[in-house]
Structure formats: C-alpha cells, structure tokens
A and B are shown apart, each in its own frame.
Chain A
C-alpha cells in the first residue's frame, strides 16, 4: 500500500472529476486505506480552494475599440511614440537649439575669412571699412547689390567682400580697379560665405525650436492617450 501512492496528477484530476471510472475506483480504494494520500489530497483541495478565492480583478475602464483602429497602434511605431522618448527627443532638440544660439553669439566676430562669421553685418562693416576702404570701397559702393541675399543688410553687407580681395594682393591692382565688372564678380562670391552662414545659425535654431515644439506636442498627445488607456 505504501509502495504505490496516488500521484499528484491523479489527485488533482480527482478534484475536478477528470478521472475515468476505473481510475477513480482505484484511487478511492487506495485513499480509503492511506492517511498520507488523504492528507495530500486535502492539502491540494485547500490549495485549489485558495486559488479560487483569489479576487477577480475588475477592469477600471472599457476596452472598446473605435471605428478605425490604425494599424500602427501596436508594434514598433506605437512603442516609439511613448511620451518619455518624445520628451527626451524634444529636450535634445531644445538643447541643440541653445547650443547653436550660444555658438552664434560666442563666435569670433568679423572672422569672415572662415566663412562662419555670424556677427552682425553692421559691426563687420565698421571694422572692415576702416581697414580697407581706401582701395576698393569706391568700386564696391558703385556696384549694385550683387545678390538679393544681402538685401536685409543693404549696401554695407558688401563690405566683407573686400577681405578676400585683400587676401590676394599678388593680383594686379589695376585690373581690379580697371574692370568693375570683374570686381563685382569677385564681390559676389564672398557674400555667399558670410551672410548665408549667418543664416545657417539662425535658421538652424528656428528649425530646432520648431522641432522641439512638435515633439513636445506629440509627447503630450501620447501622454493623454496613455492616460485614457490606463
């Protein structure tokens, strides 16, 4: 009798009435003469009883679906659209914007030859014209604004153009004076360095600001959605 106790699976199935008649008769016959198996069975029965008593978790909200469920609700896209990630990206964009603005403000003013001179055209003009007005200024002043891009700074914006001209002193001075048309051509190239690079900083900052705003909006929306779902 002790050698052939009832296995757990048979006891468990007995509780659920899931033994065949023959199995059940065998098990019951054994139980009648084996206190150890009866204790096993009783412990299992009480375990099941406790499991059954576990409270049902009632949903706090409805899980109804709406008319059109966008396919992107699940999977990677949905996970990517989690508020923390969007907030992080927004923060990164905002931080980058600040960096660009700081770089803009801190960049050495008048360093036009690098092409990244971001300082105000007026300051540039003041310094440049004092340095090199004697030689080329008349010609530059007489020339029409070479590019609409220099429009907002007007005629003074042409002044930085003088610098590269100075950087090539080996060239014949008469030539530059004698042929104003070629001078205009020479003048035209540098503005494409200085004023546009001025723009890169400001436009970049504006772009980053807009990006940060979009990301923050998206994160708020995703946050509201998560709040609705919770």
Chain B
C-alpha cells in the first residue's frame, strides 16, 4: 500500500533539461564549440545558441510573462554571453548562460517598470488576455490546461518573489534537477528546495482560491 502510493507521489519528469539529454557526443561537441567560441568564433558560439535558445527563451518567457520582452532579453543575453565567453571558466555552460538570461530579464523588467505603458501591457498579459505564442503542451502525461487554468498559473507565477518563481520555472517547468537549479541560482540545494516548496504552496493556494484545484 505504502509502496504503490509512493510510486504515484514521485512525479515523472517528462520534460528534461538540455544537459540531461546529453550524450557523450553532445558533451564533446559542446567542449569543442566552447573552445572555439572563447577564441572569438561566432559560428561555434551559434551552435551553442542553437542548442540552448529554446531553454533560454522559455525561462525568459516564464520570468517576464511577456513573449516580446522575453525575446529581447534572450537576444541581449546571448550577445552578453558571447562577449563574456572568454571569461567562462568551465563548469556548467547551461547554468552560466541561464544566469545571464535571468539577469537580462531582471534588467529588462527594471527598465520596463519605469515606463508605464509597458507595465500596463504586462498586467494585461499576466491576466491572460494576450495569447501565448506557440501553445503546445509537450507533456503527454498531464492533461492540456484550460485557458483559465493557464492564465491563473501565469498570474500566480507573476505574484511570486523572484527566487520562488525561478525555482519553479527551472525545476517544474524546465525540468532541471535541484543541483542544476542551485547552480543557476547561485544558492545551496537546500535553499532551492525551500524556495521551490514555498512557491509551489503559494501557487496551490491560488489555484484552490480560484477554484482551479479542489
């Protein structure tokens, strides 16, 4: 009884982070591209862009809740990363890149918050009135979200403190491990665990309060 129950509790991760799809070939490719990119080879760097842009853009979208601002922030992040690639001292390129992406998002948000019109656009978008680009649920295990539930989730994410949101985006939405998320956030794994738990509990409360979860 307890055994079979636990099988249901431990969730199945259908969406895996880029790094965990890695085969040894991918890793070798990446090392080669990184070396060339450090020497200023834009083509080599663009192989990395191609590999990570979906993840980077998705994180930016969930962080900013604004597809266009997210695209701008992602582009700026890749420019910044290319300029700074010589200073990348090994470790996880994914974590290094995502840190740059997240910082670009926070910069963009700070800048946008000084302009009322943009803030208003985002408020409207957070309410779910603007369509999300390219809607396709990639998780076959879970039911497709209703528009209302999706809007509620987006609104709930927007309400969270930055670190709680980022933990949810990285672990739940992008499928990173706690360790990978900790690397991106520059925090101990224990901190990721608690931020994630608090964020999830807050989202749950909002889902219950809005009748999306009984």
- Which residues of A are interface residues toward B (Cβ below 8 A)? 8-9, 11-18, 28, 31-32, 41, 43-69, 71, 73-74, 79, 229-230
Interface check B137, CB cutoff 8 A: yes
Q: How many residue pairs at the A-B interface have CB separations less than 8 Å?
A: 171
Name which of B26-34, B46-54, B87-95 contacts chain A: B46-54
CA of A221 to CA of B207, assembled, Å: 46
Write out the residue numbers on chain A whose beta carbons fall within 8 Å of the beta carbon of B149. 50
Interface check B15, CB cutoff 8 A: yes
For residue A24, which residue of chain B has the nearest CB?
Answer: B6
CA of A178 to CA of B148, assembled, Å: 100
Interface check B42, CB cutoff 8 A: yes
Given the known interface contacts A15-B11, A53-B139, A66-B42, the answer about A44 and B200 at a Cβ–Cβ threshold of 8 Å is yes
CA of A229 to CA of B154, assembled, Å: 25
Say how far B93's CB is from chain A's closest CB, in angstroms.
15
Contact A60 B134 (CB under 8 A): yes
Contact with A along B152-190 (1 / 0, CB 8 A): 011000000000000010011101001000000000000
Contact A45 B9 (CB under 8 A): yes
Contact B49 A56 (CB under 8 A): no
Contact with A along B35-63 (1 / 0, CB 8 A): 00000001001100110011011100110
CA of A32 to CA of B2, assembled, Å: 7
Instruction: A52-B14, A73-B76 given; name 10 further pairs at CB < 8 Å.
Output: A9-B197, A13-B197, A15-B10, A45-B11, A53-B142, A55-B132, A56-B58, A56-B138, A58-B134, A230-B68
Q: Which of A14, A44, A58 is close to B133, meaning CB atoms less than 8 Å apart?
A: A58
Interface check B193, CB cutoff 8 A: yes
Interface check B128, CB cutoff 8 A: no
Interface check B127, CB cutoff 8 A: no
Say how far B97's CB is from chain A's closest CB, in angstroms.
11
Contact A16 B178 (CB under 8 A): yes
CA of A174 to CA of B169, assembled, Å: 97
Interface check B136, CB cutoff 8 A: yes
Say how far B194's CB is from chain A's closest CB, in angstroms.
5
Contact B50 A62 (CB under 8 A): yes
Contact A63 B74 (CB under 8 A): yes
Contact A47 B203 (CB under 8 A): yes
CA of A53 to CA of B75, assembled, Å: 26
Contact B53 A59 (CB under 8 A): yes
Contact B76 A65 (CB under 8 A): no
CA of A43 to CA of B137, assembled, Å: 21
Contact B204 A69 (CB under 8 A): no
Write out the residue numbers on chain B whose beta carbons fall within 8 Å of the beta carbon of A62. 49-50, 53
CA of A53 to CA of B54, assembled, Å: 17
Contact A43 B71 (CB under 8 A): no
Write out the residue numbers on chain B whose beta carbons fall within 8 Å of the beta carbon of A61. 71
Say how far A39's CB is from chain B's closest CB, in angstroms.
10
Q: Which of B9, B111, B136 is close to A41, meaning CB atoms less than 8 Å apart?
A: B9
Write out the residue numbers on chain A whose beta carbons fall within 8 Å of the beta carbon of B208. 43
Interface check B144, CB cutoff 8 A: yes
Say how far A71's CB is from chain B's closest CB, in angstroms.
7
Interface check B201, CB cutoff 8 A: yes
For residue A11, which residue of chain B has the nearest CB?
Answer: B197
Say how far A26's CB is from chain B's closest CB, in angstroms.
13
Contact B76 A74 (CB under 8 A): yes
Contact A49 B142 (CB under 8 A): yes
CA of A65 to CA of B37, assembled, Å: 11
Contact A52 B197 (CB under 8 A): no
Write out the residue numbers on chain A whose beta carbons fall within 8 Å of the beta carbon of B82. 65, 69
Contact A63 B78 (CB under 8 A): yes
Interface check B213, CB cutoff 8 A: yes
Interface check B209, CB cutoff 8 A: no
For residue A228, which residue of chain B has the nearest CB?
Answer: B75
Interface check B198, CB cutoff 8 A: yes
For residue A66, which residue of chain B has the nearest CB?
Answer: B42
Given the known interface contacts A47-B200, A52-B139, A74-B80, the answer about A12 and B68 at a Cβ–Cβ threshold of 8 Å is no
29 contacts between A and B (CB under 8 A): A8-B198, A14-B10, A16-B10, A16-B11, A31-B5, A44-B200, A44-B201, A47-B200, A47-B203, A47-B204, A47-B207, A49-B141, A49-B142, A50-B145, A52-B173, A53-B143, A55-B134, A55-B150, A56-B173, A57-B61, A57-B62, A58-B134, A59-B54, A60-B134, A65-B79, A69-B83, A74-B76, A229-B72, A230-B72
